[in-house]
Every structure is written in structure tokens, then in C-alpha cells.
Amino acid sequence: MRILAIESSCDESAAAWLHVGRGGRYQLEHVVTTQAIHAKYGGVVPEVAAREHAVTLPLVLAELGRRVVGSDDGRLLGRRVDAIAVTRGPGLVTSLRVGVDTARTLALAWGKPIVGVNHIEGHIYSNWLGGDRLPTVAFPALVLVVSGGHSELLLMRGHGKYTLFGATLDDAAGEAFDKTAKLLGLGYPGGPAISRLAADGRRDALDFPRPLLHDGTSNFSFSGLKTAVRYFIDKHRAQISDPMFVADVCASLETAIVDVLVRKTIAAAKKNNVATVLLAGGVAANAHLRRTLADAVAAELPGVHYADPSLAVCGDNAAMIAVAAYFHAVKDDFSTLTTMDVDPGWELGRK
Ligand code: KG4
Ligand code: ZN
């Protein structure tokens, strides 16, 4: 099964070609471009993102063609594809629109079936990439999805079977990183900068709140933490040029966020008696989160397997969309080309 996948839900224009053969052995080519233009606005501007996708996506597909068939001749690439996959939601409506319509046009021109993929499901399947074959994951699995727009705990009972266990009531974990980075003048996206600076800071320097830590649910809330950090920075404006002060703020913020994410994940994993714990989403690139969650699973959940995605596929990409689509395609679970549409508010596993 050979899948061509497109991802355009936010500010990455991406395409991938995945060939899964016998025993799950796979070949993968993927191209990701990030829209640098948003950095100057301090966040993604939806209208600008969509226009950029419209310009960039054909170039990304041409580059994918050069990697897969040695040419940007789309007809050659089309002969090496069995199904088209595309992110249908959640995400920015106009950005999704560009990807979905490009995919539908290709499916029509090449006469291929199409799979509409949930972006969060894609992030989950980034855990299947990394080796030379798609692994067999033991279910049920508890998945912590943390990105710029989502902080969720999902129970995965099998391929395509999800129950949403908890979600953020306000801001996502990635937003807490991004908004604090903006206050500190660290640019966008802020997560990578905060985690880099946190390495030199003291994790217990500042006692920032851990919202909903003991509320007994699997929900998250990060807006109170963001506000506490904002008040703190406003009060200590004079120190913002001191690298040690900034490092302490970054380390303390990262620790507060990671504490909540890890404690809630372990509690939900215990409650559901899971076989596997998976981490997914852009914030999964955070080294402190990866280490702390891995250690907590090893210490508190004997016999439970833990995995996190390779750093190359933590952020938005089309390789993860291709893997998610593969598990739909093998079940003949295709979308209808004529009626398929974007679904910007699609919530995976919401009953
Ligand atoms: O999944 P993603 O690429 O896009 C969305 O679907 O939202 O996630 C982007 C988010 C941003 O908020 C970014 O700051 C965060 O992931 N991020 C990180 C790190 N790398 C990216 N957050 C913390 N630490 C990192 N190393
Ligand atoms: Zn994402």
C-alpha cells in the first residue's frame, strides 16, 4: 500500500509518500516547510497561513516527486500511489481548505481513493515511525497529546478506536509555552526557546501554580498558569535582561507544565489499566517532558510500555498523516471524494 499524504492544518505545508510492504516494513519520503512569516506577528495569522499554503503546497509536492520518482512530473508520482490522504481537521479552516482541495483534485485526476485524517490521530501515529517497520503497539494505550492547540488524554483501544478522557478547559500546553515566550521576547514558536533556556535555570526557583493537579479529573487548564507568569514578569520587568532570571522563569514554568501533564497521565493510565503510554504532539519534543514521563511510567506502572515520537516527527508533518491513513486504508475505510470536507472543530474520541 502506497499513500501520498498532505498536511496543512496550521503553519506547516507538508507532503509525504509512505510505502508499507510485507511485515510492516516501510519506505518513507516526506517534506515539511514551516511558514517563517508568522514569527514577526508573534503567532499564526490564519489568512496569511492559507495564502502561504496555496503558494507552497505545489512546490512541496514537486519536491516530494523528485525524492520518490526523481522528477517533479506528477504523472510519474501518481503511478506510484494507491491512495491519497489529507488532514481534514482540526485546524484553521482556510489552511485545511487548501490541503483538502489539493488532495481531492489529485484523487480525481489520478483516480485514487481518498482518506480524510484527523490531525490528532496523525500525531498519535507519529509513534509508529522511527524504525524500519511499523511496530505492533499493545492496546489499550493511553495517549497524552500536547500541541499548540491541544492538551488531551485519549484512550486508544485499537486502531481507530478512541475515547477522549480529558482535555484542556482553556489554553493548551503549547500555548502556555508560546505566550510566556512572547512575554519574555523570545519569539514564536516559544516552546523550543523556553526548553533551551530552562536547561540553565533552577526548576524550583519559582513556585508557579499547577492548575487542576488534584481535581481528580483528566482535564487540564493552563490559562491561570499563564496569567500567574505574566503578573510575575510584569512585577520583575527590571530583571528581564538578566539571563539567570529568564532561565529560572523558563525552568520553573516548564517544570509546572510537565508536573501537571505527567501526574494526570499516570493517574489516567492507572485508572484504565493500560498496556502502553504514548506521548504525541509538538510539545512531545520537550526533553524534560519525555524524560519525566518515561521515568514516571517506569517507576509507577510496572510492565507498561512507554514510547514517544522521534524528534523529526513531533511537530506537524505529513508522514504521521500517511501512517494514520494506512491503518484506515487497510480496512477499506475511505472517504467519499465528492462529499468530503474540512472539519475544523473535529474532536477525536469525543462521545
Ligand atoms: O503539533 P504542533 O507542531 O502544532 C499544532 O498542532 O499545534 O505543536 C506546536 C507547539 C507549539 O506550541 C510549540 O511551542 C510547541 O509545540 N513545542 C514545544 C517544543 N517544541 C515545540 N514546546 C515545548 N518544548 C519544546 N521543545
Ligand atoms: Zn499538530
Residues 163-183: pLDDT tens digits?
A: 999 999 999 999 999 999 999
- Ligand 1 centre to CA of 289 (Å) is 12
pLDDT at 42 (0 to 100): 81
Residue to mutate (ligand 1; options 125, 147, 183; most atoms within 8 A of CB): 147
23-31 mean pLDDT: 98
Nearest residue (by CA) to ligand 1, atom 3, is 315
Q: What single DSSP character describes residue 160?
A: T
Q: Which of 34-38, 65-69, 278-282, 292-296 has the lowest mean pLDDT?
A: 34-38
**What's the whole-number average pLDDT of the chain?**
97
pLDDT at 40 (0 to 100): 86
- Ligand 1 centre to CA of 316 (Å) is 9
Instruction: For residue 188, name the pLDDT band (cuts at 50, 70, 90).
Output: confident
pLDDT at 39 (0 to 100): 85
pLDDT at 184 (0 to 100): 93
Buried-state track 28-45, b at ≥16 Cβ within 10 A, e below 16? bbbbbbbbeebeeebebb
Asked, as a colleague might, if the bond just before 189 is cis with ω within 30 of 0, I would say yes
48-71 mean pLDDT: 98
Residue 78 has pLDDT above 90, yes or no: yes
Nearest residue (by CA) to ligand 1, atom 1, is 282
Instruction: For residue 142, name the pLDDT band (cuts at 50, 70, 90).
Output: very high
pLDDT at 119 (0 to 100): 98
Ligand 1 contacts (CB < 6 A) are 10, 147-149, 174, 177-178, 189-192, 195, 281-283, 285-286, 315-316
Residue-wise pLDDT for 219-268, tens only, equals 999 999 999 999 999 999 999 999 999 999 999 999 999 999 999 999 99
- Ligand 2 centre to CA of 49 (Å) is 14
Please give the model's pTM, rounded to 2 decimal places. 0.97
Residues bordering ligand 2, an ion, CB closer than 5 Å: 147, 316
Residue 43 has pLDDT above 90, yes or no: no
- Ligand 1 centre to CA of 70 (Å) is 32
Taking only Cα atoms into account, the Rg of the chain, rounded to an integer number of angstroms, comes to 20
Q: Hey, CA dihedral for 338, 344, 347, 351, is it positive or negative?
A: negative
CA nearest neighbour of 49 among 226, 188, 192, 223: 188
pLDDT at 112 (0 to 100): 98
